[in-house]
Amino acid sequence: MLQRSLTVTTTAMFAALTAVGAYIYLPIGPVPITGQTLFVYLSGSLLGGRLGALSQALYVLLGCMGLPVFAGGRASLLVLLGPTGGYLIGFMVCSFTVGYLAKVGDRLNSVRLRFTYYLVSMLVGTLTLYFLGLLQLCYWLGGDLTKAIVVGVLPFLPGDTLKMVLAAILTVKLRPLTKSLVGR
């Protein structure tokens, strides 16, 4: 019973942290720069693929139900259907991918190797996030893939790289603790 309570609590906590990350917000165009991806990476790497994706699904559900948890305090199903909706769906897939791949990193003995492996898992997750985000953004931009890449990927590369490095460092330190918390 206690294990289940801890699992539910940590999953909900990562949904809440992703919501907080939405308020770290720089509006630069149709897709704003936010702090959310840090928590997307951490939800997968610390909770595992299934629970990480569940935390992001909960986050998206809360926003679609009207809580102002999306970037800039927005909310509603219309946000999910708009230009940034693919990125919101991508949060779930990214978190799952990171968590699924991070399991292999646990078997590595060297801290440096684990860090590198976690970082690579986050890079792969980011590629899935960008792909899903670009699909919907490209639709909203009339099929202009070049413009979608210019406004939906390129501005995010430096910040997402820093967030991946920070998340990989935190994962090396915190993953052993969260494994016992959520029973992965």
pLDDT in tens, 119-171: 999 999 999 999 999 999 999 999 999 999 999 999 999 999 999 999 999 99
132 and 96 in contact (C-beta within 8 Å)?
A: no
What kind and span of H or E run contains 182? helix 157-182
List Cβ neighbours of 95 (8 Å cut-off, separation of 6 or more): 40, 41, 43, 44, 49, 52, 53, 55, 56, 125
**Residue 60 CA to chain centroid, in angstroms?**
11
Domains of the chain plus CATH, in order, are 2-182 (1.10.1760.20)
56 and 92 in contact (C-beta within 8 Å)?
A: yes
Query: Rounded distance, CA 71 to CA 85, Å?
Result: 11
**pLDDT tens digits, residue range 45-67?**
999 999 999 999 999 999 999 99
**pLDDT tens digits, residue range 75-97?**
999 999 999 999 999 999 999 99
pLDDT at 150: 96
pLDDT band of 25, cuts 50, 70, 90: confident
pLDDT band of 183, cuts 50, 70, 90: low
* Mean pLDDT along residues 31-55: 95
45 and 171 in contact (C-beta within 8 Å)?
A: yes
In terms of C-beta density within 10 A (0-12 exposed, 13-18 middle, 19 or more buried), how is residue 71 classed?
A: buried
pLDDT at 184: 59
Q: Taking the CB of residue 146, how many other CB atoms lie within 10 A of it?
A: 9
In terms of C-beta density within 10 A (0-12 exposed, 13-18 middle, 19 or more buried), how is residue 175 classed?
A: buried
The more confident residue out of 155 and 33 is 155
**What DSSP letter does each residue of 148-179 carry, written as one string?**
HHHHHTGGGHHHHHHHHHHHHHHHHHHHHHHH
Residue type (1 letter), 119: L
